[in-house]
């Protein structure tokens, strides 16, 4: 005879404020097979859990129903609690009285209470039919793949490598360092970005536990948590990494000029060059779209080849082929970063049309001593030194037409750039920042804002509608200023647009390859915004850095180390437990029709030949328990554990039961 314990949680006032928990408890007592029903303020608390555990022993309960908040919150907590009391953790049913009752029906307490009763009735009917399940253990690979070689990927790599894990760091550009390598100084300390970054870059490339794959991209991901099989495409550099000494003689002789990507196309490099001044690895790379030799590969005569002659190390190899590398890893950290909003999407500010309107990332490059102007603050496309610089904030951000979110760093970046301009040019320049709200929220950030004001940076509280260009190329615009209540006509020699951060161009591909969901803003979605910010809901995939949402360097590094710790946590024992709520096949009923195999979005079903018959078999570790197969199977041969027809239909019958009874036995 089943003995069910029903526990109704007040959840403080979250449930009890709307639902009459006492009435629901009384009602539960009247349900068949319910041996005991109680209510308590916080079931998830220590005394709450102990209450359940004591009752399991004292009243010999073999099923438990807990009517509380969403199972996403505490299902795991309660499973652990009953397991400690000796009951199989999968004989617990969570009934959601918060997200499904008290919150949506806050204005109708009587109806809410009736609904709560009905849900408890359904839970009781279902819990009877639950079967005990066991978690299976699978061994895992202790290697980790890190996708993206910016500061997030670098930090995570170092943490994991130092903890003794083997790391594969895949970076799509020819050098690691990412966005941080492009920065001149970093806020709020004005540390030289390269100075704090390059030591870490060198540590990574030297670390015995790190295998660095630059100019490479992940092209396929198979397998499941703890046992991923990843294919990485190494695109050819046409330079042999081990031989190149980084002397740059090849670059000096190359006749083909190419826009310099690292310098945001403000300068030019050559078809064979080293990616950036602090590139790691310091190895040249040939641009196949511009190199004459490679473009005219099919020509009868071989063209150019000046670099071949110049290279003393004989490192250049035009025959180099792309290579696919297969990796077996236990966990994946996604650190693919973000991009800067392209202000061509906002033509009213003149970017692209007016040479003296530049983006914040372009400013970063001209401020950097290793950039195209040698660190001199000049308008990069006209080489003129500005006497008046105006910053326009929130370009592409906080804007329903483009990106609704606040980019989090735009204000601090402009403050930094204004301070740098002041420090480099002294009193020879007037600096204005046109802003909506000035957000300087972090440690030392408000003080940094103060520093800017102390340095005579002017703050104009208002955003211009458009920017216009005068005949001499200088810029002018009107802006209504909140403080003075005046329409100010502003003139600037250079306008810097504080473009926001947007999801990487590859984000859709990352989304597909790794089954990493995206939030509505386009960035990768964390498993829970407050409690689980470092991982995806897909098991084994962790998130680090701006790919999860725009953020500054301190937050990026913190998140990267956190993600690394999570990966260590998961892999250190060498095995993981798999949730048993997966699909399971009743072989006698399976007709081998293959519908389930074709419908499974995770490719978790295989067909196995058994004599004459073909039968479906579930790869338990890959199965996510989504239920599509169970719904599609024409013979009801495949079902999700605990979500079989009998269990679900029992709930349906229970839901409709009261509708047939009029004035039945109710408290």
Partner 1 sequence: MSLVDSMSMAKPNLESRKKILAKLRGRELINCFQCMKCTSGCTALKLLELKPHEIEKLVNLGLVDELASSDIIWTCATCLKCVERCPQKASPYHVIIALRNLAVEREAKVPEELMKGISRILEIGLAWSFQDVVTRKMETFDRESLRLPKIDSPKESFQAAFMKALEER
Partner 2 sequence: MSVREVLPRLSVELVDLREALCCGDPVRSVNDFAASYLGARVLALANLTGLKNLLVPCNRCHFVISEAKALIEKGEKAQTKIVGLLKEEGLEYNPDVKVWHVIDFLHDLVGLKSVEKAVVKSLKGLKLATHYGCQILRYTDLGRVDDAENPRKLDELINAVGAETVDYAEKLDCCGSHLTYGHVDSALSLAGQKLRAVQALGVDGLVVSCPDCGMMFDAKQKDAATTVGAKLNLPVLYYTQLLGLALDIPQDMLGLQLNHSPVEQLLSKVSA
In a 3-state reduction of DSSP, which class is residue 249? Answer: helix
Euclidean distance between CA atoms 617 and 319, whole angstroms: 45
Cross-strand bridge partners of residue 170: 147, 213
The nearer residue to partner 1, 299 or 487, going by C-beta atoms, is 487
- Shortest Å distance, C-beta 340 to partner 2: 20
- SS3 sequence, 289-341? CCCHHHHCCCCCCCCCCHHHHHCCCCCECCCCCCEEEEEEECEEEECCCEEEC
Query: What are the start-end ranges of the H helices in 506-644?
Result: 507-514, 553-571, 595-599, 628-632
Euclidean distance between CA atoms 254 and 303, whole angstroms: 12
Q: From the list partner 2, partner 1, none, pick the one residue 16 interacts with, judged by a Cβ distance below 5 to 8 Å according to partner type.
A: none
Query: What are the start-end ranges of the H helices in 352-506?
Result: 360-367, 410-425, 445-454
Euclidean distance between CA atoms 222 and 418, whole angstroms: 48
Sole binder of partner 1 in the list 26, 203, 342, 478 (CB under 8 A): 478
The nearer residue to partner 2, 323 or 466, going by C-beta atoms, is 466
Q: Does 463 bind partner 2 (CB under 8 A)?
A: no
The nearer residue to partner 2, 469 or 614, going by C-beta atoms, is 469
Euclidean distance between CA atoms 270 and 574, whole angstroms: 48
- Could you tell me if 526 and 535 are in contact, meaning their C-beta atoms sit under 8 angstroms apart? yes
Could you please report the per-residue DSSP string of 102-138?
A: ITTTTT-HHHHHHHHHHHHHHHHHHHTT-----PEEE
- Scanning 174-182, 250-258, 463-471, 623-631 for contacts with partner 2 by CB under 8 A, the matching segment is 463-471
Q: Does 348 bind partner 2 (CB under 8 A)?
A: yes
Q: Does 481 bind partner 1 (CB under 8 A)?
A: yes
Euclidean distance between CA atoms 7 and 36, whole angstroms: 8
Q: From the list partner 2, partner 1, none, pick the one residue 482 interacts with, judged by a Cβ distance below 5 to 8 Å according to partner type.
A: partner 1
Q: Does 602 bind partner 1 (CB under 8 A)?
A: no
Q: From the list partner 2, partner 1, none, pick the one residue 487 interacts with, judged by a Cβ distance below 5 to 8 Å according to partner type.
A: partner 1
Counted residue by residue, the chain has a size of: 667
Q: What mask of x and - would describe binding to partner 1 in positions 487 to 526, judged by CB under 8 A? A: x---------------------------------------
- Could you tell me if 97 and 119 are in contact, meaning their C-beta atoms sit under 8 angstroms apart? yes
- Shortest Å distance, C-beta 505 to partner 2: 23
Phi then psi for residue 192, to 5 deg, are -70, 125
Phi then psi for residue 559, to 5 deg, are -65, -40
Q: From the list partner 2, partner 1, none, pick the one residue 243 interacts with, judged by a Cβ distance below 5 to 8 Å according to partner type.
A: none
- Shortest Å distance, C-beta 476 to partner 1: 12
- Could you tell me if 67 and 25 are in contact, meaning their C-beta atoms sit under 8 angstroms apart? no
- Shortest Å distance, C-beta 293 to partner 1: 49
Q: Does 404 bind partner 2 (CB under 8 A)?
A: no
- Shortest Å distance, C-beta 215 to partner 2: 36
- Shortest Å distance, C-beta 376 to partner 2: 29
- Scanning 32-40, 346-354, 357-365, 612-620 for contacts with partner 2 by CB under 8 A, the matching segment is 346-354
Beta strand 583-585 with 144-147 is unpaired
Euclidean distance between CA atoms 382 and 601, whole angstroms: 54
- Shortest Å distance, C-beta 660 to partner 2: 39
The nearer residue to partner 1, 465 or 635, going by C-beta atoms, is 465
Q: From the list partner 1, partner 2, none, pick the one residue 235 interacts with, judged by a Cβ distance below 5 to 8 Å according to partner type.
A: none
Q: Does 166 bind partner 2 (CB under 8 A)?
A: no
Q: Does 477 bind partner 1 (CB under 8 A)?
A: yes
Q: Does 406 bind partner 2 (CB under 8 A)?
A: no
Mark 176-202 as b/e (b = at least 16 C-beta within 10 Å).
bbbbbbbbbbbbbeeeebbeebbebbe
Binders in 564-623 for partner 2, by CB under 8 A: none
Cis-peptide, bond into residue 229, ω within 30° of zero:
no
**CA triple 354-359-362, angle to 5 deg:** 110
Q: From the list partner 2, partner 1, none, pick the one residue 468 interacts with, judged by a Cβ distance below 5 to 8 Å according to partner type.
A: partner 2
- Shortest Å distance, C-beta 382 to partner 2: 18
> How many Cβ atoms are within 10 Å of 653's Cβ, its own excluded?
12
Q: From the list partner 2, partner 1, none, pick the one residue 469 interacts with, judged by a Cβ distance below 5 to 8 Å according to partner type.
A: partner 2
Sole binder of partner 1 in the list 437, 521, 569, 587 (CB under 8 A): 437
The nearer residue to partner 2, 239 or 346, going by C-beta atoms, is 346
Q: From the list partner 2, partner 1, none, pick the one residue 529 interacts with, judged by a Cβ distance below 5 to 8 Å according to partner type.
A: none
Q: Does 347 bind partner 2 (CB under 8 A)?
A: yes
Binders in 466-505 for partner 2, by CB under 8 A: 466, 468-470
- Could you tell me if 604 and 622 are in contact, meaning their C-beta atoms sit under 8 angstroms apart? yes
Q: Does 399 bind partner 1 (CB under 8 A)?
A: yes
Q: From the list partner 2, partner 1, none, pick the one residue 398 interacts with, judged by a Cβ distance below 5 to 8 Å according to partner type.
A: partner 1
- Shortest Å distance, C-beta 338 to partner 2: 25
Sole binder of partner 1 in the list 297, 482, 594, 666 (CB under 8 A): 482
Q: From the list partner 2, partner 1, none, pick the one residue 461 interacts with, judged by a Cβ distance below 5 to 8 Å according to partner type.
A: partner 1
Euclidean distance between CA atoms 163 and 169, whole angstroms: 15
Q: From the list partner 1, partner 2, none, pick the one residue 628 interacts with, judged by a Cβ distance below 5 to 8 Å according to partner type.
A: none
Sole binder of partner 1 in the list 233, 258, 455, 461 (CB under 8 A): 461
- Could you tell me if 118 and 630 are in contact, meaning their C-beta atoms sit under 8 angstroms apart? no
Euclidean distance between CA atoms 434 and 447, whole angstroms: 19
The helix (run of H) or strand (run of E) holding residue 41 is none
- Could you tell me if 339 and 499 are in contact, meaning their C-beta atoms sit under 8 angstroms apart? no
Sole binder of partner 1 in the list 161, 394, 415, 567 (CB under 8 A): 394
Q: Does 3 bind partner 2 (CB under 8 A)?
A: no
Q: How many residues of this chain interact with partner 2, rule: CB under 8 A?
A: 8
The helix (run of H) or strand (run of E) holding residue 358 is strand 357-359
Residues 6+ apart with CB under 8 A from 109: 18, 19, 20
The nearer residue to partner 1, 76 or 521, going by C-beta atoms, is 521
The nearer residue to partner 1, 310 or 469, going by C-beta atoms, is 469
The nearer residue to partner 2, 347 or 574, going by C-beta atoms, is 347
The nearer residue to partner 2, 300 or 401, going by C-beta atoms, is 401
Q: Does 350 bind partner 1 (CB under 8 A)?
A: no
- Could you tell me if 364 and 182 are in contact, meaning their C-beta atoms sit under 8 angstroms apart? yes
- Closest C-alpha to 318, from 272, 279, 356: 272
Q: Does 400 bind partner 1 (CB under 8 A)?
A: yes
Sole binder of partner 1 in the list 5, 48, 123, 464 (CB under 8 A): 464
Q: From the list partner 2, partner 1, none, pick the one residue 394 interacts with, judged by a Cβ distance below 5 to 8 Å according to partner type.
A: partner 1
Instruction: Give the footprint of partner 1 on this chain (CB under 8 A).
Output: 348, 394, 398-401, 436-437, 461-466, 477-482, 487
The site for partner 2 (CB under 8 A) is made up of 346-348, 401, 466, 468-470
């Amino acid at each position: 005879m089943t003995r069910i314990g029903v526990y109704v949680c007040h959840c403080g006032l979250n449930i009890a404020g709307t639902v009459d928990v006492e009435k629901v408890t009384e009602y539960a007592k009247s349900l068949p097979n319910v041996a005991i029903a109680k209510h308590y303020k916080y079931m998830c608390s220590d005394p709450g859990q102990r209450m359940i555990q004591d009752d399991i022993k004292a009243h010999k309960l073999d099923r438990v129903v807990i009517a509380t908040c969403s199972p996403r919150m505490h299902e795991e907590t309660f499973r652990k609690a009953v397991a400690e009391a000796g009951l199989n953790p999968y004989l617990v049913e969570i009934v959601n009285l918060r997200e499904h009752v008290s919150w949506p029906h806050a204005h109708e307490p009587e109806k809410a209470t009736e609904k709560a009763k009905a849900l408890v009735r359904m839970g009781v009917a279902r819990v009877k039919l639950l079967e005990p399940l066991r978690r299976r253990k699978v061994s895992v690979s202790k290697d980790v793949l890190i996708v993206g070689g910016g500061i997030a990927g670098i930090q995570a790599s170092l943490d994991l490598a130092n903890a003794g894990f083997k790391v594969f760091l895949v970076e799509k550009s020819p050098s690691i360092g990412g966005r941080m390598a492009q920065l001149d100084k970093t806020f709020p300390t004005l540390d030289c970005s390269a100075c704090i970054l390059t030591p870490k870059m060198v540590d990574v490339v030297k670390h015995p536990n790190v295998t660095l794959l630059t100019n490479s991209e992940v092209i396929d991901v198979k397998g499941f948590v703890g046992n991923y099989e990843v294919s990485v495409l190494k695109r050819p550099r046409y330079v042999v990494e081990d031989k190149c000494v980084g002397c740059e003689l090849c670059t000096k002789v190359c006749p083909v000029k190419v826009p310099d990507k690292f310098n945001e196309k403000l300068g030019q490099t050559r078809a064979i060059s080293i990616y950036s001044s602090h590139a790691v690895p310091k190895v040249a790379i040939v641009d196949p779209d511009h190199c004459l030799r490679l473009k005219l590969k099919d020509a009868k005569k071989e063209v150019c080849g000046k670099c071949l002659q110049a290279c003393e190390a004989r490192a250049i190899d035009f025959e180099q082929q792309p290579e696919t590398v297969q990796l077996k890893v236990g966990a994946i950290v996604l650190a693919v970063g973000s991009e800067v909003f392209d202000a061509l999407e906002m033509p009213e500010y003149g970017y692209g049309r007016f040479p003296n309107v530049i983006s914040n990332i372009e400013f970063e490059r001209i401020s950097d001593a290793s950039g195209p102007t040698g660190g001199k603050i000049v308008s990069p496309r006209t080489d003129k030194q500005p006497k008046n610089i105006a910053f326009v904030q929130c370009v592409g951000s906080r804007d329903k037409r483009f990106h609704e979110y606040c980019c989090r760093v735009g204000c601090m970046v402009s403050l930094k750039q204004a301070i740098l301009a002041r420090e480099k040019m002294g009193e020879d320049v007037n600096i204005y920042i046109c802003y909506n709200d000035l957000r300087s929220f972090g440690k030392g950030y408000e003080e940094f804002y103060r520093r800017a004001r102390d340095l005579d940076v002017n703050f104009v509280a208002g955003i211009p509608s458009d920017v216009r260009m005068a005949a001499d190329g200088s810029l002018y615009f009107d802006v209504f200023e909140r403080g003075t209540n005046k329409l100010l006509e502003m003139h600037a020699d250079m306008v810097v647009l504080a473009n926001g951060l947007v999801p990487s161009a590859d984000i859709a591909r990352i989304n597909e390859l790794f089954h990493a969901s995206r939030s509505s803003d386009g960035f990768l979605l964390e498993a829970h915004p407050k409690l689980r910010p470092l991982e995806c809901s897909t098991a084994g995939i962790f998130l680090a850095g701006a790919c999860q949402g725009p953020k500054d360097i301190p937050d990026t590094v913190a998140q990267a180390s956190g993600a690394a710790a999570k990966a260590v946590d998961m892999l250190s024992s060498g095995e993981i437990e798999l949730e048993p709520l997966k699909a399971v096949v009743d072989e006698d009923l399976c007709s081998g029709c293959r519908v389930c195999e074709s419908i499974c979005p995770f490719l978790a079903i295989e067909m196995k030949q058994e004599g004459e018959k073909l039968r479906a078999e579930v790869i338990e570790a890959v199965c996510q328990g989504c239920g599509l197969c169970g719904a599609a199977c024409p013979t009801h041969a495949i079902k999700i554990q605990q979500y079989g027809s009998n269990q679900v239909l029992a709930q349906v019958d229970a839901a409709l039961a009261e509708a047939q009874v009029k004035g039945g036995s109710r408290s």
